[in-house]
Structure formats: structure tokens, C-alpha cells
Amino acid sequence: MSVSAWDPSMKPDVNDAMCPSRGVLEHVTSRWGVLILIALLERSYRFSELRRHVGGVSEKMLAQTLQNLERDGFVHRDAKPVIPPRVDYTLTDLGREAAERVRALALWTEKRTLTVLENREEYDKARS
């Protein structure tokens, strides 16, 4: 949806399948989007550093996710005019707001993972 098609009286609603907020939410909750936002909350990263930091991401998915985040205005891509070329990725202020909320969820998840594994074991046992 383009901004010009936006009706200012419209209230964004993630429960509405046609609302553009849903696409934004999907970018900040995407598998790699989450991990990239959290990494960039600590410091700026170069592409190859991010690739090492975020376990399991392919070059293609990292490039595509960074481009989505840049287009949304969450990530700033800073290409330094040096030889060899150097590109740093940094959070914008908007990206920092998103990343803080995403990190809160990820940290909570790490803290609760063992409990969830126990719940799954109990669930499976009750049904076997």
C-alpha cells in the first residue's frame, strides 16, 4: 500500500488481513529479522560479521532481510568509500524502537525455553 492510498482516518489493525501493519509486523518478527535487529541493538555490523553472528542464515536470506529492514527505515546501510569496499549496517532510531521490543521477547524466550521443553514433554506423554 502506498502512503497516498492511506486514509488518515484508518486505524492500523494487525487483525485486518488487508492492513499494511501486518506486513510491517511480519518484517520485525521474521526469523532473520528478529535476530538481525537484536544484533544491531548492540553495535553496527558488517555483512560478513552479521552472517557469522546469526547462526544458520544464508547469504541470500541475510541480504534480503537487510534490504527489507532498510526499505522499512529500520536499518541504515552505510557504504564507506574505501578499498576494499566496506559496508556497515546500523539501526535507525525507528529500528532501535522495534529492536528493543523484539529483544524483550527474545530474552524472555531464552529464559523460558527449558519450561517450554518440559511442557512439550508432558503434553506428548499425556497423548502417547
Binds its own copies by CB under 8 A, chosen from 48, 73, 86, 87: 73
> 76 forms bridges with which residues in the sheet?
90
Assess 61 for contact with its own copies (CB under 8 A): no
> Which regions of 66-119 does DSSP assign to beta strands (E)?
75-80, 86-91
> 91 forms bridges with which residues in the sheet?
75
* Cα–Cα distance measured from residue 119 to residue 128, given in angstroms and rounded to the nearest whole number: 14
Most distant CA pair in the chain, distance: 62
Site string for its own copies, 75-104 (x = CB under 8 A): -------------------x--xx--xx-x
Site string for its own copies, 13-52 (x = CB under 8 A): xxxxxxxxx--xxx-xxxx--xx--xx-------------
> 88 forms bridges with which residues in the sheet?
46, 78
Q: Which is nearer to its own copies, 42 or 80 (CB)?
A: 42
First vs last Cα of the chain: how many Å apart? 48
Do 73 and 95 form a contact (C-beta atoms < 8 A)? yes
Q: Of the ranges 40-48, 58-66, 78-86, 112-120, which one interacts with its own copies (CB under 8 A)?
A: 112-120
Q: Which residues bind its own copies (CB under 8 A)?
A: 1-3, 6, 11-21, 24-26, 28-31, 34-35, 38-39, 53-56, 70-73, 94, 97-98, 101-102, 104-106, 108-124
